[in-house]
Chains A and B, each alone.
Chain A
């Protein structure tokens, strides 16, 4: 399956587009275009290399090194690209500064997540060469999504991402996981339905327009909206709504969120982390591009639907997260709520003459969400890796963590405060951006919902934070030997910095994430400037 997918994507990108039956001039790919595909090509090369390596020599360590190297090279290649942009490569892909920004975010996230996952598998004594292959494939899918400006490449990217994820959820089969197969099947079926919905929507749009490019949709919408205030083409409207449903499924927005907690809980933690960060970020970046390019903000029906979805996601996500005892389920609902907040910034595009602020807000919020969520999962991964039976799922595992594992606990506290939007963390700047964008458009009702949602959110984030600082002795009384260190007899009250293994790659990634959470919250100017120079290209 994977080989077939790879070959499809390479032919699509290098050869002339087989799917693109549209009126845009399909110019043959030139040297500049090929060059601007460098990050995608490097990851594709990586996939091929990994296939070869796995067939000749099975060695998880080597596979890990290869992946890490490939990702780093791909990340470095982004810097070489920045001069020759924007570059349209076939009608399918547009490599512009906006795509560059999100490619950078996704690759950085992948680079940080990889050592953490590797450490996790290694400490559980699982030799999973193919995980790295699938990992690279899903990253490739995410990168394609970020640059796509055409429904064909949207589907390609989305499917590449989703199929690799299905395999990753179910494949590391081991007795220690509760329901990986259930999660994989659930994701496969529901993701399949979502894809089908999406495809049907695309077909309807194609039937009406005869083109699959986002721009064509934008032009058509603009024309028809000049005549009448509301969109009167039922075929086109249905198509747009179905596409929206497919995208909302991937972002686990209400009412398409039902799969999220089960899949998050059932999947091995590294895959959950990938699902919560790379997959959602890529889809959200795509949503923003599609919404802007197709003038979606001019369609009142679409705006109203998005508003309803945003309000429902913020309220339902936070309310359902309220009393969760399982960390991963809690993170699932919290991600639903966070994408609800994100939609508020997206909706600030609606009547805006200058969409720059809203685009900035969406981009910064995504970056903030990415860093904080990754930090939370990094801690869960590190803790779970040490467990001998089952993962660290329940809140009880985290009682008094500060006194046992100071580095992990402090990172987790920072990340949770960031998700709750407390100042001096990156999450606050993100929330500040959302408030600014919404105030500028005077979306008072949505703002009020954000306030209510955040207030509910404080409850579960801060409850967790408090749990981390409770005294160690309660944990000992509960008689849970798995969570206690071997040298826990020493001073109970002081922090145990000695338990930190400073030189491992996963610790390095963890420290990086903690520092990023703090630094981007206190000195956000560099990232703001970066986003302003890159992301604005889309508006």
Chain B
């Protein structure tokens, strides 16, 4: 079933490329159909959860799980599994994939076949990342999803695209080699203790703490995940990549790819190295708080609209880092909710920036201003998402940040207090964006066409999703609850076991 999902996306990717020979618009239809089909595949799962069709492995329950031998020499298996968290993130991925197609409907004029091939191939990789439970398989998907994004930025991007694409890929790939060392280090440890290599998530849980190189292995994994997040000192690729990418690329990058880093932290880093919660939590939370302020500050200082949204992402991701290292039920729920809601709000803002750029051929906010009169619908929608971004109650982002702050309050009062002040920064940069773009006197003679039906429809989907998550988040939280309970238990039992062993 999960394999089918990934294979379906890959076949769709190849079909989209080949379909180009029929007609120029065929690829996007193929891509649309593929994603629709994939969503249909997942739909029954949403309702099945209530019936309790679960698979239990070592006390954890999974909605779906499949395992095949892949490279037996190293105990590497094709192990895919899905629980509530994976399900929500895969749904987010597929929906944002549809939105990315809608966003590039008119923007991408040439070589559509290859464009949609890359888009779908990237989504296949992301779905793999969100479902793989074999560490090496996770790594393979982690790397494979980057190459299509490299093409998306490098071919269809804006003026500095080559530089941005290379910077993106070198940052992420080089750091992921550190992750590879960590993963192999864990497998080698398993071989030392049990006689055979294993990259199996279940076999390796908590084992990281037993290694003499525990800290360094953890650091390798941490750096790779945090580059993708991105957190404060390793974020420099993000602004360039987001700014230069085509709209669909930005949507996928901000909406989905950043979430893989956060997902990795929650799913792999802490469960594999439970004792890092005690030794490293302070560092993680500090980096999170720095990210919140630093991102907000930089976002405020930008004149480039896309750059502003990009830096605001760093600020929002800081909250996730804070929530992960607080590691309690509330903060984790908040972190996952933040992944979902930021996925929608950032994607919408990038799509907005892309739409403006397509119309006036500039991202410079100094050339904008007074667009409210010309394009009232666009302006209202922008205001909606700006409000979402600054965390106004009633929308999903508020729920997420509120949960994170409550959760982290139990862990560190200082960090929480500081992070709360960070919310002020969010209000400042969101409002300054609205002010510069839509209000004030008109700066240029551009006439701005308002959103058409397609764009309104796409935006409506994201607005609806944010409203739903904001007003009635309970279904999503219910899906997450068992997962988070398990993860939390994992973090605690392993560290208490360790405490029992060590005098």
Contact = CB atoms under 8 A, between A and B. Distances in A.
Given A440-B188, A469-B155, A494-B21, A525 B73 contact: yes
B498 interface: no
A423 B143 contact: yes
A528 B151 contact: no
B166 A493 contact: no
Given A462-B169, A469-B155, A493-B111, A439 B188 contact: yes
A439 B174 contact: no
A447 interface: yes
Contact of B180 (A402, A435, A524, A525): A435
Contact of B162 (A466, A471, A495): A466
Contact of B74 (A436, A444, A493): A436
Given A493-B24, A494-B113, A528-B71, A466 B165 contact: yes
A529 B74 CA distance: 12
A455 interface: yes
Contacts of B114: 402, 469
Nearest to B20: A494
A532 interface: yes
B173 interface: yes
B181 A447 contact: yes
Contact of A524 (B71, B112, B143, B181): B71
Contacts of A417: 147
A422 B169 CA distance: 11
Contacts of A423: 139-140, 143-144
A458 B174 contact: yes
Given A439-B185, A455-B174, A493-B24, A422 B147 contact: yes
A439 B190 CA distance: 13
Contacts of B147: 417, 422
B71 A525 contact: yes
Contact of A436 (B110, B165, B184): B184
A527 B17 CA distance: 32
Interface string B141-163: 00110010011001100000010
Contacts of B185: 439
Contact of A493 (B113, B150, B151, B178): B113
Contacts, number: 94
B interface, over-half SS: helix
B55 interface: no
A493 B115 CA distance: 11
B180 A432 contact: yes
B72 interface: yes
A363 to B, nearest CB: 13
Contact of A435 (B73, B166, B184): B184
Nearest to B167: A459
A71 B478 CA distance: 66
B151 A469 contact: yes
A424 B151 contact: no
B423 interface: no
Interface in A409-468: 417, 422-424, 428, 432, 435-436, 439-440, 444, 447, 450-452, 454-455, 458-459, 462-463, 466
B143 A469 contact: no
B178 A451 contact: yes
B169 A528 contact: no
Contact of B173 (A439, A444, A455, A493): A455
B144 A422 contact: yes
Contacts of A444: 216
B177 interface: yes
A463 B24 contact: no
How extensive is the interface on chain B, given as a class? 35 or more
A525 B136 CA distance: 15
A452 B73 CA distance: 28
B238 to A, nearest CB: 18
Interface string B15-48: 0010011001000000000000000000000000
Contact of A459 (B72, B110, B166): B166
B180 A493 contact: no
Interface string A226-243: 000000000000000000
A interface, over-half SS: helix
Contacts of A450: 177
A470 interface: yes
A131 B493 CA distance: 70
A46 B44 CA distance: 66
Nearest to A402: B114
A116 B166 CA distance: 33
Given A422-B143, A422-B147, A423-B140, A470 B169 contact: no
B283 interface: no
A454 B112 contact: no
B170 interface: yes
Contacts of B70: 525
A458 B184 contact: no
A458 B173 contact: yes
Contacts of A493: 20, 24, 110-113
Given A436-B74, A436-B184, A493-B24, A424 B154 contact: no
Listed residue (A463, A493, A528) with the most chain B CB atoms within 10 angstroms of its CB:
A493
A451 B181 contact: yes
Interface in A25-40: none
Interface string A42-63: 0000000000000000000000
Contact of B184 (A424, A439, A454): A439
B160 to A, nearest CB: 13
B188 A462 contact: no
B144 A469 contact: no
B166 A463 contact: yes
A532 B71 CA distance: 13
Interface in B435-483: none
Contacts of A532: 73
Contacts of A402: 114
Given A423-B144, A471-B110, A454 B154 contact: no
A428 B184 CA distance: 14
Contacts of B71: 524-525, 528
Interface in A490-539: 492-495, 524-525, 528-529, 532
B211 to A, nearest CB: 11
A314 B145 CA distance: 27
Nearest to B113: A494
A439 B181 contact: yes
A495 to B, nearest CB: 8
Contacts of A432: 136, 180, 184
A454 B169 CA distance: 12
Nearest to A433: B74
A130 B151 CA distance: 45
Contacts of B72: 525
A458 B170 contact: yes
Contacts of A424: 140, 144
Contact of B177 (A455, A466, A494, A529): A455
Interface string B93-113: 000000000000000001111
Contacts of A459: 166, 170
A398 B188 CA distance: 42
A451 B110 contact: no
Interface string A472-490: 0000000000000000000
B113 A454 contact: no
Given A432-B180, A471-B110, A455 B143 contact: no
B144 A466 contact: no
Contacts of A440: 188
Given A423-B144, A436-B187, 6 more contacts: A428-B140, A435-B180, A469-B114, A469-B151, A471-B111, A532-B73
Question: Would you list the 8 A-B pairs with minimal beta carbon distance, nearest first?
Answer: A455-B174, A423-B140, A451-B177, A466-B154, A439-B184, A423-B143, A493-B111, A528-B73
5 contacts: A422-B173, A454-B173, A462-B170, A466-B162, A494-B113
Interface of A: 402-403, 417, 422-424, 428, 432, 435-436, 439-440, 444, 447, 450-452, 454-455, 458-459, 462-463, 466, 469-471, 492-495, 524-525, 528-529, 532
